[in-house]
Structure 1
Amino acid sequence: MTPKIGPETMLAEWLFVETVADVRRRSQDPGVRDRYELLGIAPLLRKLLIDAHPLLNTVRTARPEVPTEFRIRQWSAPDDGRGDADLPYLFRLGGPELVGGPEDPALPKLKHFIGARVGMVQGRPLTVSEVVKYYANTEGGVHFAVPKVETDHILSEVAPVLLGHSTGQIEILAHLGTIVADALTPLRDSILASPLIDTRIHRLNDRGFYDGHWTTDYQAKVSPGAIADTGSGFVGVRL
């Protein structure tokens, strides 16, 4: 039976689906995207995973059976055979190798993923949470602010040097975005297949989706018909 729940959770499901799609789009082919577009991944990840009330936690309360498996290959110093792994780097970041595949063990809990190691800052681990917060709260994804913690100071010192020369540093957001989009796709698919509804206004039609529901747009993309504007403030299905 479709759960019945308040309109704010229904809105959260819509926002979740759109946000996951946006993360997926921005994370594809990071090498050809500009810095501003990559920076836009940070607030999306913050909203989904790190805010005081993460959007992920809001929507999965109604779907606890749907897994969210974050497959990340946590960063470790590369062994280049020269014995210099312990040289005093200011900071180091992982690249596309962070993105795990089906064969890699999953981190099922959100707290483990945002605490996962993706690099190193002055000899200590740099985590997913620290990277996302820096780009969202200091470099301008959400806020442009004076660095407050050591990690932010270091990343802020390097960013202006790379600006206009390379997006290699900020591309880590795309790699994290790919991991997140993969992990959240089962939950996204569950929402689209069986969305929360308001039984007062949503009725299941003979094509298997709910008239007047926000998921109609998604269903139309995969159904033979197309959504047509009737010109009267309503929409009709053209077969």
Structure 2
Amino acid sequence: MAPKIGPETMLAEWLFVETVADVRRRSEDPGARSRYELLGIAPLLRKLLIDASPLLNAVRAVRPEVPTEFRIKQWTAPLVGRDDADLPYLLRLGGPELVGGPEDPVLPKLKHFIGARVGQVQGRPLTVLEVVKYYANVEGGVHFGVPKDEPDYVLGKAAPLLLGHSTGQIEILAHLGTIVVDALAPLRDSILASPLVDTRMHRRNDRGFYAGHWTADHYKDVSERR
């Protein structure tokens, strides 16, 4: 059955494009971002990928031909010398090396990406899903909540000690954000090139975009940068 396309779908496309742009901005040069700016990536990723009805699924339903390819170098424990082999690690997180390139394998399914390994917590893998949920639901990206799971407790112990000293731990959100923006770029570009319109209101003009449509601002921004 074909998905129902209504006014809410147009709203979803607008929100998707703006959310991806916000993730891109916050993920650039993470070392220069404040902890608060980086924390704001978590609710955006939750909205795009993890909520009960993820925004990605809402827009992809009417554009199933557009690929979404997540390229991530899943975390593996670094090789250590013999003297370090038995050192216990409470928490280890991946860094910029998580961001995959064109030569890296693709995870085409959202469920595989959010289940990808990005670190280790008390001897077991830590996933994209767990990292995003912690920063969104416990540290305050969306809610300032009570830790419920083992990763929440471990991440929560470290966070207060890092305030005012380092954003190194939370920068993982920027690296995940970069992966997500790259994966969703084809879908974003498809929307901007051929957005849903209301033919009673929107007509393509001689400059190639729909005057009065939300996408007009994006074309204006592009033309001003040229």
Q: 1:221 to 1:50 in 2, by over 3 A?
A: same
Q: Which residue of 2 aligns with 1:14?
A: 14
Q: Which residue of 2 aligns with 1:170?
A: 170
Q: Summarize deviations over 1:82-134 as a string: whole Å, max 9, x none.
A: 46355321111000000001110110000000000000111111000000000
Q: Summarize deviations over 1:18-68 as a string: whole Å, max 9, x none.
A: 000000000011111110000000000000000000000000111111111
Q: Runs of 5+ in structure 2 lacking a partner?
A: none
TM-score in terms of structure 1 length: 0.89
Q: Which residue of 1 aligns with 2:194?
A: 194
Q: Which residue of 1 aligns with 2:209?
A: 209
Q: Which residue of 1 aligns with 2:150?
A: 150
What pairs up with 1:106-121 in 2 under 5 angstroms? 106-121=106-121
Q: Distance in 2 between matches of 1:27 and 1:62?
A: 28
Q: Distance in 2 between matches of 1:100 and 1:57?
A: 23
One-letter amino acid matched to 1:158: A
Partner SS state of residue 188, structure 2: helix
Between the aligned residues of both structures, percent identity stands at 83
- 2:27 pairs with 1:34: no
209-218 vs 64-73, greater mean Cα deviation: 209-218
What pairs up with 1:1-239 in 2 under 5 angstroms? 5-82=5-82, 84-85=84-85, 87-223=87-223
4-13 vs 96-105, greater mean Cα deviation: 4-13
Q: Distance in 1 between matches of 2:208 and 2:78?
A: 51
136-145 vs 200-209, greater mean Cα deviation: 200-209
Partner SS state of residue 119, structure 1: strand
Instruction: Say how many residue pairs are matched.
Output: 222
Shift of 1:206: 2.0
| Alpha-carbon contact 1:5-1:197 (below 8 Å) kept | no
One-letter amino acid matched to 1:93: L
Q: Which runs of 4+ in 1 moved over 4 A?
A: none
23-32 vs 207-216, greater mean Cα deviation: 207-216
One-letter amino acid matched to 1:205: N
TM-score in terms of structure 2 length: 0.94
Q: Distance in 2 between matches of 1:30 and 1:201?
A: 41
| Alpha-carbon contact 1:204-1:210 (below 8 Å) kept | yes
Partner SS state of residue 125, structure 1: strand
Shift of 1:211: 1.9
Bigger radius of gyration, 1 or 2? 1
| Alpha-carbon contact 1:78-1:85 (below 8 Å) kept | no
Q: Which residue of 2 aligns with 1:231?
A: none
Q: Distance in 2 between matches of 1:120 and 1:60?
A: 32
